[in-house]
């Protein structure tokens, strides 16, 4: 029997950011009117001039974070300096070395060593050359003594690509903590060099502070960024959105009556040793996580289990509501609540509105569930209800630092709309909507009895009494019709472990035969008429627990899939036509006869590799008598082909045979997007960290992103170079793929994910999908790129094609000189930026003409190499000329 659970309506869930200083957004802006302060601007890649802002008292930041953008130049000045104090600075710039140079204007010359320094308001760096600043030096000079100003100290730290905050290639977040996103209290001062030289490493942001004998340095903290997603009824995964800028985020929906069915939360830039943990009270499951769950924290005081960041709490495909939540910030050093911070949250409950429980909520406190009430739970207390079958539709979350007053979510109540003149008409429609809401979800129906039939019949009568116009306004009638169809059909709903989907029935059935050959004897195909797909199903089950076990076994076999809930009849199942069983020895002989002669094999073909692996499996499972029945010349042929294919495989871990410039030249010849060309050095950087071959992964990124053009489901802003899925993906849509903060972070995730396959430990904190893939039975055993097929992607040719169609052509590419590369790189960057704009305006015409001039000024051979980009530019010119 089913319960009369009021059907859930949406997941809305709100997240809050305590102190957020992510790229371009800075909190606690301070106006130091009466103290020595520093200001200025940076010329930043893509953004041009970006002014500095104070992020703390006496501390200012210049540049961006989380965008992967280089600072190309900067100009600084002092406000309120003491008498005779001037600011001087220098920079180490790509292609130029130390600047300023001899002959520059507005310089100060150090009498001790003759070094040149730019004075206040001077510009150091380049514009229009796409050159990065790699290092900086700053000093405060007393013009009376021509030496460092006594009683003051200027301190600075830089945010370096891959390294994060720090001062050089040793003292930085990555080297000191293993996490480039961590904050480290390392500062250079009074002319010391901050940055790198000879590593081709850009500076992305700079923190500067001036300290007198009467002040102490302020800690610079980038703020905790709180984010996540909720799985919402009818909507699937929804990411959170800010409702109070920089402080509070909401995830989910309001006014839709949709339940939150699951959620995943995470922190960015937490203080050292801080982790987020959370739990939920879920319909039909009670408190989650359960014993045996992964990625959990156990409270040493009461033994309660809490999910850590990025874990998923709740359900998918079960139509189960979340009814309550608890959140905490934990200090991993003490295994208790983190001191100095508080995490606060409130929930939007069905009928009650915003609040924290069945007493403190908008309905009970004000009589109006649409009003906002300032009621918050904090630090692990339960928010929501239990035993009332009441869904949570939205969540607000905020992290508050001690001594910091939280910003109000909305001080003004949201009053109901004025009464509609046709009040009776609206009441009639709402009555039917409420009646339908009392019906169970079709997925919850375990048994069709007379009580259910009568209930559905009563609701149908009420709906049919409405006028046609009124019926159009019943926004949940789909539930009524779904239940009526369920009652009429008498069909059964199953939890299906789905392997993949295919448009072609023959291909789908062939895949089912492959699954059956690999031991999944219950596999079948299922036609889905609403979108004209064939599902390839491993097995079907009455309970989700049985489906979960099957999915884990499937993954242990080196395959992957998802669980879907579907109603169908047994007669709908499609299976291959049965054939008479053949003896193992005959199968082996048939396969070997299809193999080519060993001497003719020059490269690995997917069909040959698949046949050899199939023959090996058959041969290893034969009895001694069966083996003796096979002609020895066929066994010799099989072994020779197997050895030849093995000798042609490419190790994933191994010494690189290509240079960065060689790979970038190859990418240019392929018409790659600038972002793909520009990211190449990062692949060689992580090769140095992991030993994983960089040109192989760089080639794989070309295959996955179409050379950085991102023409598939993954979009450029996601910085996902390898098609990595989210932890809870259910298909191949955009939202099923992971997003990364920067392009470099996406490369790190690429190496970490490949490390699962070949047995290399991750760099920094892995992405959520890493933890799932790591549980596969084959994890750590895939040593060759050609063996990725069937595991990284279903196509057996996947890994083979990376070498055949991409990497081998890198090895055959003659690299450009550094001088020529910089010339063409500048042209390609200009063309790609114009192409990415989409809607061009007349203001872009000057930029188009400038890029055209730069292209035409290239050497003829270089211009020929850029033929693809020239065609793109011609199309841009055509569009601009039509404006």
Q: What is the mean pLDDT of the chain?
A: 82
The answer to whether the beta carbons of residues 859 and 820 sit under 8 Å apart is: yes
Report the candidate in 575, 588, 694 with the shortest Cα–Cα distance to residue 632: 588
H helix or E strand, kind and range, residue 664: helix 660-669
d(CA 24, CA 267): 18
181 contact partners, CB below 8 Å, separation of at least 6: 164, 173, 268, 269, 741, 764
Name the one residue in this structure whose structure tokens are 């000798």. 647
- Express each pLDDT in 31-82 by its tens digit: 333 456 666 666 677 665 656 555 554 677 888 776 778 898 888 888 778 8
Name the 3-class secondary structure at 820: helix
The DSSP string of 684-719 is HHHHHHH-B-HHHHHHHHHHHHTTTT--SSS-GGG-
d(CA 12, CA 10): 6
- Express each pLDDT in 350-386 by its tens digit: 888 889 998 888 888 887 777 778 888 999 999 999 8
Q: To 10 degrees, what angle do helices 660-669 and 694-705 make?
A: 20
Angstrom distances, CA of residue 465 to CA of 140, 461, 469: 84, 6, 11
Range in 387-401, 442-456, 512-526, 687-701 with the lowest mean pLDDT: 442-456
Give the residues across from 394 on adjacent strands.
252, 348
- Under the banding of pLDDT at 50, 70 and 90, the label for residue 483 is confident
Angstrom distances, CA of residue 642 to CA of 144, 240, 270, 791: 81, 52, 51, 20
d(CA 276, CA 397): 12
- Express each pLDDT in 139-189 by its tens digit: 999 988 889 998 888 999 999 988 888 999 888 888 887 777 777 888 999
Name the one residue in this structure whose structure tokens are 């910030």. 329
Burial class (CB in 10 A: 0-12, 13-18, 19+), 875: exposed
Q: Where are the beta strands (DSSP E) in 143-175?
A: 147-148, 152-160, 164-166
Report the candidate in 700, 697, 692, 683 with the shortest Cα–Cα distance to residue 655: 692
Size (the chain), residues: 883
d(CA 561, CA 540): 13
- Express each pLDDT in 14-29 by its tens digit: 222 222 222 222 222 2
Residue 248: its pLDDT value, please?
62
Rounded to the nearest 10°, the torsion over CA 174, 177, 182, 186 is -80
Indicate left, alpha or beta for 180 from its phi (over 0: left) and psi (-120 to 50: alpha): alpha
Neighbours of 451 (CB within 10 A): 12
Phi, psi of 747 (to 5 degrees): -65, -40
> Nearest-5° angle of CA 95, CA 97, CA 100?
120
Task: Give 244 or 557, the one with higher predicted confidence.
Answer: 557
pLDDT reading at 210 higher than 70: yes
Q: What is the pTM of this model?
A: 0.44
> Nearest-5° angle of CA 447, CA 448, CA 450?
130
Count CA within 13 A, CB hemisphere, residue 834: 30
């Amino acid at each position: 029997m089913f319960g009369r659970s009021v059907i859930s309506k949406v997941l809305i869930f709100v997240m809050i950011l305590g102190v957020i200083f992510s790229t371009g957004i800075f909190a606690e802006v301070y106006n130091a009117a009466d103290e020595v302060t520093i200001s200025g601007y940076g010329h930043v890649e893509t953004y041009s001039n970006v002014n500095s802002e104070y992020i703390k008292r006496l501390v200012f930041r210049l540049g961006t974070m989380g965008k992967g953008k280089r600072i190309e130049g900067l100009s600084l000045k002092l406000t309120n300096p003491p008498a005779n104090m001037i600011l001087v600075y220098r920079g180490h710039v790509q292609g130029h070395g130390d600047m300023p140079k001899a002959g520059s204007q507005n310089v100060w010359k150090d009498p001790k060593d003759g070094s040149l320094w730019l004075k206040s308001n001077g510009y150091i760096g380049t514009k229009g050359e796409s050159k990065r600043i790699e290092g900086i030096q700053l000093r405060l000079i007393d013009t009376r003594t021509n030496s460092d100003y006594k009683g003051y100290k200027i301190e600075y730290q830089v945010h370096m690509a891959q390294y994060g905050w720090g001062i050089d290639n040793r003292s930085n977040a990555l080297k000191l903590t293993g996490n480039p996103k961590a904050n480290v209290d390392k500062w250079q001062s009074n002319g010391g060099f901050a940055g790198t030289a000879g590593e081709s490493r850009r500076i992305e942001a700079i923190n500067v502070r001036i300290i007198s004998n009467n002040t102490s340095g302020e800690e610079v903290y980038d703020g905790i960024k709180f984010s996540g997603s909720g799985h919402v009824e009818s909507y699937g995964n929804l990411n959170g959105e800010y409702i109070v800028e920089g402080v509070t985020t909401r995830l989910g929906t309001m006014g839709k009556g949709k339940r939150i069915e699951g959620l995943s939360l995470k922190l960015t830039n937490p203080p050292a040793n801080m982790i987020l943990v959370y739990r939920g009270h879920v319909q039909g499951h009670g408190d989650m996580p359960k014993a045996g769950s992964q990625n959990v924290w156990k409270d040493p005081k009461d033994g309660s289990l809490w999910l850590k960041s990025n874990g998923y709490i709740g359900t998918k495909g079960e139509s189960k509501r979340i009814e309550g939540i608890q959140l905490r910030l934990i200090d991993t050093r003490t295994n208790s609540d983190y001191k100095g911070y508080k995490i606060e949250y409130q929930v939007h409950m069905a009928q009650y509105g915003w609040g924290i429980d069945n007493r403190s909520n908008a309905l009970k406190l004000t009589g109006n569930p649409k009003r906002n009430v300032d009621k918050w739970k904090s630090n692990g207390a339960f928010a929501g209800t239990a035993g009332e079958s009441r869904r949570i539709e939205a969540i607000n979350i905020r992290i508050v630092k001690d001594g910091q007053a939280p910003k109000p979510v909305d001080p003004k109540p949201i009053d109901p709309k004025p009464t509609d003149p046709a009040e009776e008409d609206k009441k009639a429609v709402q009555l039917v909507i409420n009646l339908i809401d009392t019906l169970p979800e079709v997925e919850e129906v375990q048994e069709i009895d007379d009580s259910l039939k009568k209930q559905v019949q009563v609701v149908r009568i009420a709906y049919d009494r409405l006028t046609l116009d009124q019926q159009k306004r019943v926004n949940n009638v789909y539930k009524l019709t779904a239940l009526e169809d369920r009652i009429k059909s008498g069909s059964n709903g199953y939890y299906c472990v789905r392997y993949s989907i295919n448009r072609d029935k023959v291909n789908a059935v062939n895949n089912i035969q492959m699954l059956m050959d690999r031991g999944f004897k219950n596999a079948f195909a299922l036609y889905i008429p609403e979108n004209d797909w064939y599902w390839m199903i491993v097995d079907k089950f009455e309970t989700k627990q049985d489906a979960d076990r099957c999915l884990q076994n499937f993954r242990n076999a080196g395959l992957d899939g998802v669980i879907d809930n579907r109603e169908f009849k047994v007669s709908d199942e499609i299976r291959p036509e049965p054939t008479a069983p053949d003896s193992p020895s005959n199968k082996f002989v048939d396969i070997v006869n299809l193999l080519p002669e060993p001497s003719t094999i020059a490269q690995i073909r997917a069909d040959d590799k698949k046949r050899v692996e199939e023959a090996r499996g058959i041969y290893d499972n034969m009895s001694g008598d069966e083996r003796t029945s096979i002609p020895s010349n066929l066994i010799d042929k099989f072994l020779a082909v197997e050895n030849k294919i093995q000798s042609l495989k490419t190790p994933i871990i191994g010494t690189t045979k290509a240079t960065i410039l060689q790979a970038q030249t190859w990418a240019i010849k392929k018409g790659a997007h600038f972002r793909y060309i520009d990211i190449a050095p990062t692949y060689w950087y992580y090769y140095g960290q992991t030993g994983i071959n960089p040109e192989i992964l760089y080639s794989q990124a070309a295959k996955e992103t179409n050379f950085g053009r991102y023409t598939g489901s993954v979009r450029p802003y996601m910085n996902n170079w390898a098609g990595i899925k989210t932890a809870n993906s259910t298909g191949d849509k955009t939202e099923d793929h992971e997003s990364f903060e920067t392009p470099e972070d996406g490369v790190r995730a690429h190496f970490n994910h490949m490390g699962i396959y070949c047995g290399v430990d991750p760099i920094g904190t892995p992405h959520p999908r890493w933890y799932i893939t790591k549980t596969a039975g084959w994890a750590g055993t895939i040593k060759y790129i050609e063996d990725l097929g069937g595991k990284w992607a279903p196509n057996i040719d996947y890994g083979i094609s990376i070498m055949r169609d991409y990497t081998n052509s890198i090895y055959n590419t003659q690299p450009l000189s550094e001088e020529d590369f910089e010339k063409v790189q500048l042209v390609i960057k200009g063309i790609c930026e114009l192409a990415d704009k989409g809607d061009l305006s007349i203001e872009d015409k000057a930029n188009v003409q400038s890029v055209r001039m730069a292209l035409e000024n290239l050497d003829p051979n270089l211009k020929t190499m850029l033929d693809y980009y020239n065609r793109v530019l011609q199309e841009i010119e055509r569009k601009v000329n039509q404006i």
